[in-house]
Amino acid sequence: MKSRDTLLRLKRFQADEKRRRVAQLELMIGEFNRMAGDLDREIAAEEQRARISDPTHFAYPTYARAARNRRDNLVSSTEELRGQLEEANLRLEEALAEVTKAENLEGRDKTGERLHEVVRPEPGMMGLRIARA
């Protein structure tokens, strides 16, 4: 039954990898949201300092324009990561189901092994006896 043990370890490893991927994506999304919030505050401060809040105005601060572009890129990346997170969660659920299935097979095999243990024949018995659990 070594192959079942190996299969179970493989399935658990794959599930752990998928769990790490989900955690990594969640961390990245949180970090991008924090960075976008920081940029929003910097944009507001720059607009207040220049007293111009219209990005189409000819005197709009260059730093605010660049920060706005960066913030927009972060928001776009965050949306893309959310899509990847949904996909990663689905893959994690599938991997966890496979682990459960492999664990059930392992449990069934161990139960089967106990049922089919060969015991020494009792004196006077001709054949082998199968132990019952």
Q: How does pLDDT run across 4-28, given as a tens digit for each residue?
A: 788 889 999 999 999 999 999 999 9
The pLDDT of residue 38 is 97
Give SS3 for 119: strand
DSSP secondary structure letters along 7-71? HHHHHHHHHHHHHHHHHHHHHHHHHHHHHHHHHHHHHHHHHHHHT---TTSTT--HHHHHHHHHH
Q: By C-alpha distance, which of 2, 5, 22, 9 is closest to 92? A: 22
CA 47 to chain centre: 40
15 contact partners, CB below 8 Å, separation of at least 6: 92, 95, 96, 98, 99
The pLDDT of residue 20 is 97
The pLDDT of residue 133 is 47
The pLDDT of residue 115 is 47
- Rounded to a whole number, what is the distance in angstroms from the first to the last CA of the chain? 19
Q: What is the pTM of this model?
A: 0.72
Both tokens of residue 54?
A: 């219209």
Q: With contact defined as beta carbons under 8 Å apart, do 88 and 25 qualify?
A: yes
The pLDDT of residue 112 is 53
The pLDDT of residue 1 is 52
Query: Which domains occur in the chain, in start order?
Result: 2-130 (1.10.287)
With a cut of 50, list the residues of the chain below it in pLDDT. Answer: 115-116, 118-120, 133
d(C-alpha 54, C-alpha 40), whole Å: 14
